Structure 1
Amino acid sequence: MNPIDTDPPPPTACFTYGSLMCEDIMAAVCGAHAAYRPATLQGHRRHAVVGVAYPGMVPNADHRVQGVLYLELPDSAWPRLDAFEGEEYERRIVTVETDGGAHAQAWTYVFRPRFAHRLAPADWDFDHFLRVGKARFMADYVGFDTLQPR
């Protein structure tokens, strides 16, 4: 096979920017643990979603989003992540920059435009989520580790 005629394999990494930045939540959703590191996605903005503890991210050239890059997720993680994220999010390939300055391809979940009315004007605050929202999130989403793929 000629390497020029083949497409690169899809990424096995996932850039997370909300509740899944918490390793315990990510492992429960994915059904597996993965190595991770801090990363940044340019050209996007993270907003609070009205009435819930999690954020939505949308393209925005003037902003960047700090998050976590999980490396080498197993194939079995992707259907579980898709089910967890639901219809409000679309999985897309993006290029992120790690804390060491390297660039990596990763999947991420972007909030779909048809649900934009649910986004608050304010940015989502991860530290506030850890202090106040995580316990509520965990209570609201108990059982997400048993999600069936969609």
Structure 2
Amino acid sequence: MHIFTYGSLMFPEIWQRVVRGNYLSATATLSDHARYALADDTYPGMVAQADAVVQGVIYYDVTPQDVAALDQFEGSEYRRQNVDVVIESGETLIACTYIFLAEQRLSSLPWEPQAFQMSRFIGTYCSDKMGG
């Protein structure tokens, strides 16, 4: 199964702390969705929104074991769902992504990958997986 990531998991430093496998990846675009900063945290939430576009990363052929690890990492505030993403070649692929369910926690501000506070995120959410 392909996985489309749009937040912390776009960064190899985070992705490799969650999954065990090594996967090919590429930039990808998801239409009719928007990514917002959370009012009280470092990571984003993505929701369906007409005429919006989210840039992210697709990881190819993720194993069921690693999908289970991603499900656990994302937790109950996210639901895995199939979406159509477009890769750089223009080809459309079906991938799974994680839709944010706790919309009341979203701010009105877009989440910007270049402003991601990786060290804070790793210290908060990945400290038990350091070195693994």
TM-score (ref. length: structure 1): 0.83
My pick for the range that moved more, 65-74 or 25-34, is 25-34
- Paired with 1:54 and 1:28, the residues of 2 have a C-alpha distance of 16
- Following TM superposition, by how much is the alpha carbon of 1:144 offset from its aligned partner in structure 2, in angstroms? 5.8
- Paired with 1:91 and 1:109, the residues of 2 have a C-alpha distance of 4
Which protein is richer in strand relative to its size? 2
Give the greater-gyration-radius structure (CA): 1
Partner of 1:8: none
Unaligned runs of 5+ in 2: none
TM-score (ref. length: structure 2): 0.94
For the Cα contact (< 8 Å) 1:91–1:109, is it kept in 2? yes
Unaligned runs of 5+ in 1: 1-11
Percent sequence identity over aligned pairs = 38
Letter in 1 for 2:94: Q
Partner of 1:88: 77
- Following TM superposition, by how much is the alpha carbon of 1:145 offset from its aligned partner in structure 2, in angstroms? 4.0
- Following TM superposition, by how much is the alpha carbon of 1:143 offset from its aligned partner in structure 2, in angstroms? 4.1
What is the root-mean-square deviation of aligned Cα atoms in Å? 1.3
- Paired with 1:72 and 1:119, the residues of 2 have a C-alpha distance of 30
For the Cα contact (< 8 Å) 2:44–2:111, is it kept in 1? yes
Aligned with 1:142: secondary structure?
helix
Letter in 2 for 1:17: Y
- Following TM superposition, by how much is the alpha carbon of 1:142 offset from its aligned partner in structure 2, in angstroms? 2.5
Structure 2 counterparts to residues 61-100 of structure 1, below 5 A:
61-100=50-89
Partner of 1:139: 123
Partner of 2:106: 119
Partner of 1:55: 44
1:102 to 62, 69, 91: 91
For the Cα contact (< 8 Å) 2:27–2:87, is it kept in 1? yes
C-alpha deviations, 1:92-131, integer Å up to 9, x for none?
000000011111000000011xx111000010000011xx
Instruction: Classify 1:144/1:93 alpha carbon distance in 2 versus 1 (closer, same or farther; 3 Å).
Output: farther
Aligned with 2:62: secondary structure?
coil
- Paired with 2:123 and 2:22, the residues of 1 have a C-alpha distance of 21
Moved over 2 A (4+): 142-146
Instruction: Classify 1:39/1:17 alpha carbon distance in 2 versus 1 (closer, same or farther; 3 Å).
Output: same
2:34 paired with 1:20: no
My pick for the range that moved more, 56-65 or 24-33, is 24-33
